[in-house]
Amino acid sequence: MIVVIGAGLIGLSVAYELAKRGADVRVLEAQDSAASPSWAGAGRLSPFTESDGGEEEELFLATALGTYQVFVKELHKRTGVDPYLRIDGIVEVALDEANATRLSERAASLVARGIHAHWLEPDEARRIEPSLGPHTLGASLIEDEGQIDNRQLGHALRLACVDAGVRLEERVGPVALETDGDRAVGVRAGDQVVAAEAVVNAAGAWAGKLPGVPPEVRIPLDPVRGQLLVLAMPRRLVTRMMAVPGAYLIPRTDGTLVIGEAVAEEGFEVRVDPFSTKGLRDAAVRALPALANLEIAETWAGLRPRSPNGRPFIGRTALEGYYVAAGHYRNALLLAPATALAVANVIEGKDS
C-alpha cells in the first residue's frame, strides 16, 4: 500500500502514475480537493515567464511542458474530459521604455537559444491583440508557452485515478505521519490509521507542517497567497495569454477572462483582499481599456508553497519509506506530470 497525502494536482498525478504501474494507492485529503490552490489557479503553463532560476531552470520547465500534450491526451482518452490545452503563446506588454527594453532584449536572448519568440512593435502588437491601449510601446510574443483549464484537468485526473483503482478519501480530518524507528509505517487520518509501505507527502502549502514528521526530514516551506479574479467577457477582447505590468490575463473557452495574481505573505490565512482585486483590475484596464466595463464573475485566493531556493522537494528522504513532492510554488500545474514520473521512479528504485 502506498498512501499519498494531498489531493491537489501533484498528489493526484503521483497517485495516478503509481496506480498505472500496478501499485495499490490510497489518497488522503484532510479537506476538499476542490479547495486546492492548483485546482483554483489560472492554468498557466509558462516555462519562461514564470521562471526565476535562469536558463537551466527554463530548460527544465520547457522539458516539463513537452510532456504535457501526451499527459493530457491520455487523460482525455481515458475519461472523455477535455482539459482544453492550448500552446499558443503569451504576449508580454510594455507600457514604458524600461520595460520595452527589457522585454525586447529577453526576446532576442530566447531566439538565440532556439525559443520561438518575437519582439512586436506597437502596431504589430495591436494587430494580434486589437484591444491593447494607446500606451503600448511594444510586446514580446513567446510562442512556447500555453494554458490549460485547471478545473477541467482536475476533474479528468480525479476520474482517471478512480478508473486506475486509486482510493480517494477527502475530508478525513487531521492527517499525521506514523513512524516506527527510522521508517514511515503509515498515516493517521482522523481516528483511523492506514498502514503503508510508502508515504508520499504532497500536501501543498501544509507539507512542511505535517505532524509526525521527524525534524531532520521536515521540509522548509513558506505559504504565499495568490489571488485571482474572473471577468465575464461576452466578446473575445483578449485572444491569448497576456502579461501586463502588475497582472497576467488568461482568456478561457467559457467566455471568461482570468486575471492574476496579487501575492502576499500572511501565513496560512486564505482570504480575498478587495484592495488586491482592485489592483489587478486596474492593471488590466491600464493596458486594455476595453476591459473597464466587464463585470466580475468570481474571485478567489489560495496558498502556494515556496521553498527557500524556489525549487520543489521531490523524491526520497532520510526516513525510510517517506517521500516528498511539494514546494512547487508557481509551477505545480506545469510540473505535475514530471513530478509524478520522478516520484514513481524513485519509489520503484529506478532513480535516486
Q: What is the pLDDT of residues 261-277, one digit of tens each?
A: 878 888 888 888 999 99
DSSP three-state, residue 297 = strand
Among left, alpha and beta (phi > 0; psi -120 to 50; other), residue 181 is left
- Indicate whether 137 and 230 sit together in one domain: yes
Residues above pLDDT 70, as percent of the chain: 95
Model pLDDT, residue 64: 78
- Indicate whether 134 and 242 sit together in one domain: yes
CATH number, residue 60? 3.50.50.60
- Indicate whether 162 and 282 sit together in one domain: no
Q: Which residues contact 275 (CB under 8 A, 6 or more apart)?
A: none
pLDDT at 166 over 90: yes
Report residue 117 CA to chain centroid gap: 23
- Indicate whether 139 and 200 sit together in one domain: no
Domain span at residue 272 reads 90-145+222-306
pLDDT at 302 over 70: yes
Range in 34-43, 88-97, 214-223, 239-248 with the lowest mean pLDDT:
34-43
- Indicate whether 158 and 209 sit together in one domain: yes
Model pLDDT, residue 241: 96
Model pLDDT, residue 52: 62
Judge whether 28 lies within some domain: yes
Angle between helices 332-347 and 9-20 (to 10 degrees): 40
- Indicate whether 104 and 245 sit together in one domain: yes
Q: Which residue has the cell 484591444?
A: 131
Judge whether 352 lies within some domain: no
Judge whether 135 lies within some domain: yes
Q: Which residue has the cell 480530518?
A: 173
Are 263 and 329 a contacting pair, CB within 8 Å?
no
Three cell numbers, residue 305: 508553497
Distances (CA, A) of 298 to 204, 218, 228, 259: 23, 36, 8, 10
- Indicate whether 271 and 172 sit together in one domain: no
Angle between helices 54-66 and 68-79 (to 10 degrees): 30
Beta strands 192-195 and 198-201 are unpaired
d(CA 334, CA 318): 27
d(CA 300, CA 273): 9
Model pLDDT, residue 270: 86
- Indicate whether 270 and 214 sit together in one domain: no
- Indicate whether 76 and 112 sit together in one domain: no
Range in 25-34, 58-67, 227-236, 251-260 with the lowest mean pLDDT:
58-67
**Per-residue pLDDT tens digits for 207-228:** 999 999 999 999 999 999 999 9
Report residue 298 CA to chain centroid gap: 19
- Indicate whether 154 and 302 sit together in one domain: no
Three cell numbers, residue 254: 467559457
Q: Which residues contact 278 (CB under 8 A, 6 or more apart)?
A: none
d(CA 214, CA 76): 40
pLDDT at 315 over 90: yes
Domain boundary among 291, 306, 321: 306
By residue count, the chain amounts to 352
Judge whether 341 lies within some domain: yes
CATH number, residue 227? 3.30.9.10
Model pLDDT, residue 32: 74
pLDDT class for 288, splitting at 50, 70, 90?
Answer: very high
Three cell numbers, residue 341: 514520473
- Indicate whether 160 and 301 sit together in one domain: no
Q: What is the mean pLDDT of residues 166-173?
A: 94
Beta strands 117-120 and 222-232 are unpaired
What is the model's pTM? Answer: 0.93
Judge whether 216 lies within some domain: yes
d(CA 201, CA 314): 10
Judge whether 38 lies within some domain: yes
- Indicate whether 12 and 33 sit together in one domain: yes
Model pLDDT, residue 342: 94
Model pLDDT, residue 35: 58
> How many structural domains is the chain composed of?
2
pLDDT class for 55, splitting at 50, 70, 90?
Answer: low
